[in-house]
Amino acid sequence: MSTVKLLSPSCSTGIFRNVECRQSATSPSPAVENLGFSKLCGTNVGRSYRSPRSLVLCYDREKLNLRRPIKAKEYTGAFLIHGRKCSRKLLKPIKAKNDSEPSWTDNSAAISGKSFHKMSNIGNSTNILWHECPIQNRDRQQLLQQKGCVIWLTGLSGSGKSTLACALSQSLHSKGKLTYILDGDNIRHGLNRDLSFRAEDRSENIRRIGEVAKLFADAGVICITSLISPYQKDRDACRALLPEGSFIEVFIDVPLHVCEARDPKGLYKLARAGKIKGFTGIDDPYEPPCGCEIVLQQKGSDSKSPKDMAEIVISYLEKSGHLKA
């Protein structure tokens, strides 16, 4: 027969720090063994002796393999603290307030030492409060050695927006600049998968992407969006989300007949056959930007490579100071 002795710590947590296992006097080979708490938990205890300072557990090594579970005692509404039985009345439940009672009062401001800010109601969100953080946009810009912004690539389907976005991201990455691409089709695989291509859903698609792009820019990242975004009012709404100079609209000006001849996804053919409704350039309008920062024209043989177009955008970023903190 062996005994396990658990010495209670001086603190009041009730967790045993030291566990000792020693052979009893009747055992043939007296020895002392240290047991970890996890090993103790897996032990089938035969009987125990409790005192205010320690707990001694006795078990039979030969019967350990039986793994007979310890029978749980019926819950009586009491618990043990340092070996003493205590009533659960010591712990009083927190009473929930009625809906008519206020959740806070002006006196709570004295606790934090700050006055309450006015709650906001935005759209369907009520009683919300913007929480400021000590680390601001300028701190992240200093860390990344760049200024966050949104490069908004717009144009017809097949104009080369996604190709340019990847070339631009690759060139900036080689210069040690952090970028992220928000591709229209990619976003519809997840965040905007609940939206169709109706006019109202297209507007919501642009609004959501604009809000996400704003967060990336605030994080100090150069965010590149690649999507048709056919309506001027939606692009202007996204521009209004960002500080002056942080929204860089790039119009990839490729004629419709060139885009239709390319037709990399086969969508123009489906639209012409009437299998796709509301396709931009066929039976839904595209509104070219007015007053955008960069226009990249591709007409006939005078077409630039994606890398050349990326260098034009990078040159603009350098002049505007976005590639340094």
In a domain? residue 113: no
pLDDT of residue 71: 54
Number of domains within the chain? 2
Whether residues 179 and 48 share a domain: the answer is no
Residues 309, 315, 318, 321: is their CA dihedral positive or negative?
Answer: negative
Domain boundary among 51, 68, 85: 68
Domain boundary among 53, 68, 83: 68
pLDDT of residue 303: 79
Whether residues 61 and 143 share a domain: the answer is no
pLDDT of residue 29: 47
In a domain? residue 96: no
Annotation marks residue 229 as catalytic: yes
In a domain? residue 84: no
Please tell me which residue in 159, 162, 169, 229 is annotated as part of the active site. Answer: 229
Whether residues 46 and 164 share a domain: the answer is no
In a domain? residue 124: no
pLDDT of residue 153: 98
In a domain? residue 52: yes
pLDDT in tens, the chain (325 residues): 555 444 444 444 444 444 444 544 554 444 444 444 444 444 444 444 444 444 444 445 554 454 555 454 444 454 444 555 555 555 555 555 554 444 443 444 444 555 556 889 988 999 999 899 999 999 999 999 999 999 999 999 999 999 999 999 999 999 999 999 999 999 999 999 999 999 899 999 999 999 999 999 999 999 999 999 999 999 999 999 999 999 999 999 999 999 999 999 999 999 999 999 999 999 999 999 999 999 999 876 677 899 999 999 999 999 999 999 8
CA atoms of 184 and 304, how far apart (whole Å): 23
pLDDT of residue 130: 87
In a domain? residue 92: no
Angle among Cα 68, 74, 76 to the nearest 5 degrees reads 150
Structure tokens at 29: 């080979």
Whether residues 160 and 292 share a domain: the answer is yes
Global pTM value: 0.65
Whether residues 24 and 148 share a domain: the answer is no
In a domain? residue 120: no
Domain boundary among 68, 88, 115: 68
CA atoms of 79 and 83, how far apart (whole Å): 9
Structure tokens at 325: 């903190």
pLDDT of residue 242: 98
CA atoms of 286 and 230, how far apart (whole Å): 5
pLDDT of residue 173: 98
Provide the domain limits for residue 197: 137-320
Structure tokens at 148: 């966050």
**CATH number assigned to the domain comprising residue 154:** 3.40.50.300
How many other C-beta atoms lie within 10 A of the C-beta of residue 11? Answer: 8
Structure tokens at 306: 């994606």
Whether residues 61 and 162 share a domain: the answer is no
Cα dihedral 140/146/150/153 (nearest 10)? -150
pLDDT of residue 85: 54
In a domain? residue 171: yes
pLDDT of residue 68: 54
Whether residues 61 and 151 share a domain: the answer is no
Whether residues 225 and 308 share a domain: the answer is yes
pLDDT of residue 177: 98
Whether residues 314 and 193 share a domain: the answer is yes
CA 209 to chain centre: 15
pLDDT of residue 308: 96
